[in-house]
């Protein structure tokens, strides 16, 4: 059996690991760590909940420990980018465990927090900066941080980071990073069009894949229930009453709809909270803390919580609204069955969502077992309400009838968090030092000032 000591990690890191629950490397860790320690660019693909943060964090820390001197003012030695504030916080928490007893400094910058305080924290420089793209751009434009000496770039949830929602921000950031760097990409899924873009950013990369892309953890018991949109809330109530005291994560498609569903579940007596893009960072942090501590049994969220959030006590995931990006289904249900536990994932499919379900099953390369109802006919799908219709529908009734409770609005074709739907493949990178790396090391466009 491989141990962390067998991987060549420094005694300082091994000592820190003794105080954690990490006893033996997971497959992604065992395969990725040696290559990263050798300085290779790497793309790591592994199922959710398999330890990807330690897979890039431990060897990165090992390499930084050898430097022996602090970074200069405003300088960053290693940059880790992730798509959500929650994931950034989780990565920072993990790194603080790994760096305990060392001089390595880890700094986090995210939107929704004080820009002035973040600039102060960066004024003396940092070894590892964990950031969301938007806030990092703010700091770069103000001249509060420099990436000129950044030798390591890590994209966590790389498929999402290279998607249309972030690609333009990444181009801006990469103009500030030297071409001579080590680049690491990690994700649970990597669609072909995104993979092609990722390949242009990596130099002679090693690809480590410990499970087929898009394959959910085998411990998750999946199922789909065909049900009219107006009946979903009552069905959700029935499911959750079958496992009192066990934590459940419920995914909605929109911020507005998720908040309405949360309030409805609260009136029915559930200890429930919500996180989505309309909540402040303090509100989101507080709700996640309450969920982690067991004060809440149910968390309703948009896809802001679908990537990277590690709460081992989640036993059930409900796709109240089907995701219209099929890879997000894998990320959503990966919030359960973590750290060796078991879990269930139930999807509620209304007539208008048959296309989303079929795309998910195509990704999984197998049908999801049917728990109730029957696949909607082509006529039912054609007659399903179009986006923006039935906004006044109430989810508390049966048989699709309106009742006195507020309904979560469920516009089709809109991405989680109110983003515009993705159309076609992600754009190819253009210009800047995030353009395809050339073997001769030639630089891309001129460096952006500031």
Per-residue pLDDT of 221-248, as tens digits, reads: 999 999 999 999 999 999 999 999 899 9
With a cut of 80, say whether residue 418 has pLDDT above it.
no
Give residue limits of the domains in the chain: 5-209, 220-418
Which among 83-97, 184-198, 332-346 has the top mean pLDDT?
83-97
Per-residue pLDDT of 323-340, as tens digits, reads: 988 888 988 998 887 766
pLDDT band of 399, cuts 50, 70, 90: very low
Identify the pLDDT of residue 212. 61
Model's pTM, two decimal places? 0.65
**Strand, coil or helix: 157:** coil
With a cut of 50, say whether residue 439 has pLDDT above it.
no
Cα dist from 298 to 48, 257, 291, 295, 374, whole Å: 21, 16, 8, 9, 28
CATH number of 220-418: 3.40.50.300
Identify the pLDDT of residue 341. 73
- Considering only CA atoms, which of 172, 91, 78, 198 is closest in space to residue 127? 78
With a cut of 50, say whether residue 423 has pLDDT above it.
no
DSSP E strand stretches across 73-195: 76-81, 106-109, 126-131, 152-156, 182-187
What is the C-alpha separation between 396 and 387, in angstroms, rounded? 20
Cα dist from 155 to 44, 322, 374, whole Å: 10, 26, 41
Residue 168's CB: how many other CB atoms inside 10 A? 13
CATH architecture of 5-209: 3-Layer(aba) Sandwich (3.40)
Mean pLDDT of the region 300-304: 88
Per-residue pLDDT of 109-166, as tens digits, reads: 998 889 999 999 999 999 999 999 999 999 999 999 999 999 999 999 888 888 767 8
With a cut of 90, say whether residue 300 has pLDDT above it.
yes
With a cut of 70, say whether residue 38 has pLDDT above it.
yes
What is the C-alpha separation between 293 and 167, in angstroms, rounded? 35
Sign of CA dihedral 131, 137, 139, 145: positive
Beta bridge partners of residue 81, listed in sequence order: 131, 155
Kindly state the helix (H) or strand (E) to which residue 44 belongs, with its residue range: strand 42-45
Per-residue pLDDT of 362-376, as tens digits, reads: 988 899 999 999 999
User: Minimum mean pLDDT among 40-54, 206-220, 361-375: which range?
Assistant: 206-220
pLDDT band of 86, cuts 50, 70, 90: confident
User: Minimum mean pLDDT among 203-212, 218-227, 423-432: which range?
Assistant: 423-432
**Tokens describing residue 254:** 């929109």
Conformation bin of residue 200: beta by default, left when phi > 0, alpha when psi is -120 to 50: alpha
Q: Do the domains at 5-209 and 220-418 have one common CATH topology?
A: yes
Identify the pLDDT of residue 400. 38
With a cut of 90, say whether residue 388 has pLDDT above it.
no
- pLDDT-above-90 percentage for the chain: 51
What is the C-alpha separation between 275 and 428, in angstroms, rounded? 32
Identify the pLDDT of residue 344. 94
Identify the pLDDT of residue 210. 84
């Amino acid at each position: 059996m491989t141990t962390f000591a067998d991987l060549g990690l420094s005694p300082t890191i091994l000592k820190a690991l003794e105080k954690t629950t990490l006893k033996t490397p997971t497959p992604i860790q065992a395969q990725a760590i040696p290559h990263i320690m050798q300085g290779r660019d790497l793309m790591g693909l592994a199922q959710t909940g398999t330890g990807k943060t330690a897979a890039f964090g431990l060897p990165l820390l090992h390499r930084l420990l050898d430097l022996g001197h602090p970074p200069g003012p405003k300088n960053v030695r290693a940059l880790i980018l992730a798509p959500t504030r929650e994931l950034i916080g989780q990565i920072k928490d993990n790194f603080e465990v790994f760096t305990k007893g060392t001089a390595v400094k880890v700094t986090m910058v995210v939107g929704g927090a004080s820009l002035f305080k973040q600039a102060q924290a960066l004024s003396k420089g940092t070894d590892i900066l964990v950031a969301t793209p938007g806030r990092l751009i703010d700091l770069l434009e103000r001249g509060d941080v420099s990436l000129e000496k950044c030798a390591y770039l890590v994209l966590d949830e790389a498929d999402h980071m290279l998607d249309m929602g972030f690609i333009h921000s990444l181009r801006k950031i990469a103009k500030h990073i030297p071409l001579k760097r080590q680049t690491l990409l990690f994700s649970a899924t990597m669609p072909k069009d995104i993979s092609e873009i990722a390949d242009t950013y990596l130099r002679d990369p090693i690809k480590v894949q410990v499970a087929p892309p898009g394959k959910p953890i085998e411990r998750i018991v999946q199922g789909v229930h065909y049900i009219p949109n107006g009946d979903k809330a009552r069905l959700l109530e029935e499911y959750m009453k079958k496992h009192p005291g066990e934590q459940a994560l419920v995914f909605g498609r929109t911020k507005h709809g998720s908040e309405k569903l949360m309030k409805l579940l609260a009136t029915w007596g559930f200890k429930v909270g919500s996180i989505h893009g309309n909540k402040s960072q303090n509100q989101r942090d507080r709700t996640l803390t309450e969920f982690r501590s067991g004060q809440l049994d149910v968390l309703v969220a948009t896809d802001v919580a679908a990537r990277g959030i590690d709460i081992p006590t989640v036993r059930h995931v409900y796709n109240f609204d089907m995701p219209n990006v099929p890879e997000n289904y894998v990320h959503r249900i990966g919030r359960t069955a973590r750290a060796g536990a078991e879990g269930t994932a139930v999807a509620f499919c209304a007539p208008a969502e048959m296309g989303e379900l079929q795309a998910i099953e195509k990704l999984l390369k197998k049908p999801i077992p049917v728990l109730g109802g029957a696949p909607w006919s082509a006529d039912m799908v054609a007659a399903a309400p179009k986006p923006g219709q039935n906004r006044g529908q109430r989810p508390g009734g049966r048989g699709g009838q309106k009742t006195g409770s507020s309904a979560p609005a469920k516009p089709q074709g809109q991405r989680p968090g109110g983003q515009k739907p993705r159309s076609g493949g992600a754009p190819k990178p253009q210009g800047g030092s995030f353009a395809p790396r050339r073997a001769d090391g030639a630089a891309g466009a001129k460096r952006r000032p500031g």
